[in-house]
Structure 1
Amino acid sequence: MATSWNGLSSVFNLAEENYVTLITALAFTVLWLLRSGLSYFRCRNRLPLPPGNFGFPFIGQTVEHLLAMRTADGVRQWMQNQVEKHGPLFRYRFVGYPIVMMSQPEGNKFIFQNEGTSNHMFWPSHMSTLIGPQCVITQGGERHKLVRRHLNRFFDRNAMSRHIHGVNRNAIRHFTNHWQGKEQLVALDMINLYSFSIICNLALSLEEGPLMDKIMEQFHPWSQGGYCLPINFPGFCYYKALKARGLICNLLDGLMKQRRRQIAEDHVPEALQKDILNRLLTVPDEEGNFHQDSFIKDNLLFLLFSGYDTSSSTLAMTIFYIAKNPHVYKQILQEHQLIVDGKRSNGEDENVMTMEDISAMKYTWGVIQETLRLHPAVTGTYRKTVTDLEYEGYHIPKGWLLNWNNQHSHYNPKYFKDPLKFDPSRWETRPPPFTYLPFGGGAHFCLGFEFSRMSMLIFIHHLVQNYSWSLVNSSYNGPFIRDPFPRTQDKVLISVKQLISSWMF
């Protein structure tokens, strides 16, 4: 009897187990059918993806895009080809990332106005490593706001009135030491030295000399790393860039240790107490926290970079276009002579510059703006979508990148008449919003814009007051190179002549 009961119990247990298994299987089946049904209706109702193609897995258009970035016109031509195939909104793949190019002003506006909500600042991992993960331009959201507010005190309009005398003093010394008595100069090399010495002085209280030269010689291989395949292996461009970054950071480490020792001993010279390094070491952020070394180095590195390349390439190309357009040179010279004449009539020191003088250089700034329209130092950056988006009748999935770019609008005859012509007079009126973006836009608008503007205008002021110049290769009209910033093949080789009426020397 017991045996029979055990056998019957086993049968019931087996039936129960099978019943549970059946119920479980049915439940999973129903859930799968519901999920599949929802996916079907969601996909059926979903808008199409933007036109374009991703090409080969991971690689996509990486190689052709990097090649296009090597010439000043390459990105514009590449974009134009894509626009002709797919329209102004198109998708592509770069180093594994799916990207949507938002090439119209409306697309730029959409990105900048929605930053922090539907999209955040983004850099591909290899570029973030190169620039610095704690750098202000690689930060997003609230962290970016906090860092930017902390650094903005060095670059707002009030700060410019404190910096102008140092910039002017550096400009006079630069022309005295490096231009006087020369018959030929490579303009880009000279301006790199000028721009870098200014930012080194502002950031580190560092003067021209062996240490500054050691830091400066690493910047070109470092800056090239963002324009090559991210292969961290000896012999490759990216490997050299990372090595250059490490060498620069080692030199910054030495400066930080020395300054900390001075701070501890309360022996920081007065001239050093106002530089950026000293403030970053001694002034906590808004939350009361002192900065880690990695934060300080990342942001110092970025500030030095901005002083080395971006302003330098713009000034060199400005000198190129002034030489190509004698009527532009004449108008600039007249504008700056009026400033000098006004100082003389008021009994003011001709060698002292004021913010009022900077404001009076309207035509000169128009010339620089026109140079930046044709050859912006930065053509665009990325934002990452944090939610699914619908834009212009297309679906953009969460996690994709949005690429704003100024090349399409800068050369669009709809916004700039005869766009290939160098015409500073077009800046007598403002262009439509979101069509002119050499300094970016939105929350990540160039932090050092005012400082860059001031330093470039002061350089032009002393240049036109003391020198005339011409291009050694006067017939040159391109091609223009990017390595990674725009320049001529000879880096703007010029013949210079010091003016007899020169008042500086």
Structure 2
Amino acid sequence: MDIFYSPMHTFLLIFSILFYLLMRKQSNNNRSLQGKLPLPPGSMGWPYIGETFQLFSQDPNIFFPSRQERYGEIFKTHLLGCPCVMLASAEAARFVLVSKAQLFKPKYPRSKERLIGPWALFFHQGGYHAIVRKLVQSSLSPESIRRLVPDIDAVASATLRSWDGHMLSTFHAMKEMSFDVGILIIFGEHLSKQRKNEIKRNYFIVDKGYNSFATSIPGTAYSNAIKARKRLGEILSEIMEERREHKTMEKDLLSCFLEWKNDKGERLSDNQISDNIFGVLYAAQDTTASVITWMVKYLHDDPKLLEAVKAEQMSIYKRNGCGSQQLQWAHTRKMPFTQRVISESLRMASIISFTYREAVADVEYKGYLIPKGWKVMPLFRNIHHSSEYFPDPHKFDPSRFKASPKPNTFLPFGNGVHSCPGNELAKIEMLVFIHHLVTKYRFEVVGSHSEVEYSPFPIPKHGLQVRIWSTEQADGIAE
């Protein structure tokens, strides 16, 4: 054992010394900038890997607050091979995402950009970003979603019918449902079943490899994801060609992309459209599925909360022919308590713990230097769980949303020009699903539901295993 570890220890010692000298030189160079401003306090962790292991192995409710308590609202660390500055206040979030947004560009690891596609909306800023965001917003605006509520209702109903009498992972079932809603938004109602299944099969291969170790070794999850992403691009190109050939234009996101042209007659390329379609599909899935999973857990854990939501939804259910008619937009506007439950679930769960930006120049913030090229991460979770903004922050309390939160303190969909354009769609999806769940079904969580896992979003252990019955079946069993 000693013979094996001795060379390793020597290597680590030499590597650590070189890393320390490099960081010290970088620190000294940075101190010469902006009037010799100091770097924020904090630990850079181990050489190269920094604190990456701690970030992805610890409860985010421990990792982030422990460092904020030790260093304050601004601190440095080293994650995924990059030096980072973390900001844990509403004021700081506004500084990065709104007031000085031009100094911080969106930046994601290259391996992730490659899988989603370099032209995707959330990798850009400036003119191109403004064009694509406007197109996406037009397809995801309240006016556009209004006409899709019955279709979303049909998807949610079908999902729950497939659950009836079974035990399954809430998270994975919700990913399937969110995928179907995403397909509806992007392609409308006229995508063939064969096309949809092919897109679905390849999409979930990409999804599986998205957070895996990036390697081109054949057979690995990432390598398989690259191949599946290429095939998705080919499928999307075939669909675009068919629409152009048959001059078939629908009221969906794909048609918005295909029809757009600027004053010079220039159009979006197939690669640009393909990357943005995949980006929207990806963004619409995991986060929504995660939040619904947490909502099911919160409802299960608090019978009084469940009864209050059920009372509101049953009132709508009875007025709507006891489920004989599909939900409409007007029905979703009469769910104020359920809306507050959704907001509190978004705050408590804080699925997106932080967002990535990169400083495009040396920036001063509260007497500290944020060096050019460093990653900057506003910590949404810390803000959402701060007693300064939300009294008794670890208590699930929907009543806190009877009034609007203070500006920049509630950021489940981000803020500024890069905030999520699909937030209204996500909320409608949650409202419709919860309506059907509490009015037509009974459910119970199976096994432990106090543990949390990260995939990479925090979700209850095993995706929250749930057994579900229709109320008709449950009543028959009771008799």
TM-score (norm: length of structure 2) = 0.84
Q: Residues 309-320 of structure 1 correspond to what in structure 2 (within 5 A)?
A: 309-320=286-297
Residues 400-435 of structure 1: CA deviation (Å, up to 9, x unaligned): 221112121222223223333333233223333222
Per the alignment, residue 127 of structure 1 pairs with 112
Q: Does 1:184 align with 2:167?
A: yes
Find the aligned partners of 1:243 and 1:333 in 2 and give their Cα distance: 45
User: How far apart in 1 are the matches of 2:465 and 2:379?
Assistant: 30
Aligned to 2:461: 489
Percent identity (aligned): 27
Large movers: runs of 4+ above 6 Å: none
Q: Which has the larger radius of gyration?
A: 1
**What whole-Å deviation, never above 9, does each CA across 1:458-477 have from its counterpart, x for those lacking one?**
1111222211211122xx34
Contact 2:147–2:329 (CA<8 Å) still a contact in 1?
no
Q: Distance in 2 between matches of 1:229 and 1:236?
A: 9
Give the unaligned 5+ runs of structure 1. Answer: 1-38, 69-73
Aligned match of 2:370: 396
Offset at residue 373 of structure 1 (A): 1.7
In the TM superposition, what whole-angstrom CA distance separates every residue of 1:309-336 from its partner, at most 9, and x where no partner exists? 2212211221122111111111111111
Q: Distance in 2 between matches of 1:353 and 1:150?
A: 27
Instruction: Tell me by how many angstroms 1:115 deviates.
Output: 4.5
Residue 167 of structure 1: how far off its partner (Å) = 1.6
Report the 3-state secondary structure (helix = DSSP H, G, I; strand = E; otherwise coil) of the residue aligned with 1:120: strand
2:403 corresponds to which of 411, 429, 434: 429
CA contact (8 A) 1:116 1:141 kept: no
Partner residue in 2 for 1:77? 62
Residues 228-265 of structure 1 show CA distances to partners (whole Å, capped at 9, x for unaligned) of 444443455543443342333333233333333333xx
Aligned partner of 1:92 in structure 2 is 77
Q: Secondary structure at the match of 2:462?
A: coil
Give the aligned residue type for 1:92. Answer: T
Give me the whole-angstrom Cα distance separating, in 2, the residues matched to 1:307 and 1:385. Answer: 27
SS for the counterpart of 2:148 is: helix
Closer, same or farther in 2 for the Cα pair 1:423/1:208, shift >3 Å?
farther
> Within 5 A, what are the aligned runs for 1:312-461?
312-343=289-320, 351-461=325-435
Aligned CA distance change for structure 1 residues 406 and 40 (closer, same or farther; 3 Å): closer
Number of equivalent positions: 445
Q: Pairwise CA RMSD of aligned residues?
A: 2.9
Cα distance change of structure 1 residues 79 and 494 upon mapping to structure 2, 3 Å threshold: same
Paired residue for 2:52? 62
2:78–2:84 CA contact under 8 A, matched in 1: yes
Corresponding residue for 1:201? Answer: 184
**Is the 8 Å Cα contact of residues 224 and 483 (structure 1) preserved in structure 2?**
no
Counterpart of 1:108? 93
Instruction: Note closer, same or farther for the CA distance 1:342–1:483 as it changes in structure 2 (3 Å cut).
Output: same
Gaps of 5+ in 2: 1-28, 475-479
Are 2:34 and 2:369, in contact at CA under 8 Å, matched by a contact in 1? no
After superposition, what is the alpha-carbon deviation per residue over 1:365-396, rounded to whole angstroms, capped at 9, x for unaligned?
22222222222332222222222221111122
The question of 1:172 aligning with 2:164 is answered no
- When residues 236 and 423 of structure 1 are mapped into structure 2, their CA distance, relative to the original with a 3 A threshold, is farther
CA distance in 2, matches of 1:94, 1:286: 43
Distance, in Å, in 2 between the alignment partners of 1:124 and 1:485 is 17
Which one of the candidate residues 281, 290, 296 is aligned to 1:304? 281
2:16 aligned partner: none
In structure 2, the CA distance between the partners of 1:391 and 1:169, relative to structure 1 (3 Å rule), is same
1:148 aligned onto 2:148: no
Mapped to 2, the partners of 1:136 and 1:356 lie a distance apart of 31
Q: In the alignment, does 2:234 pair up with 1:250?
A: yes
Distance 1:308 1:183 in 2: 23
Q: Give distance in 1, aligned partners of 2:159 and 2:337.
A: 24
Where does residue 272 of structure 2 map in the other structure? 295
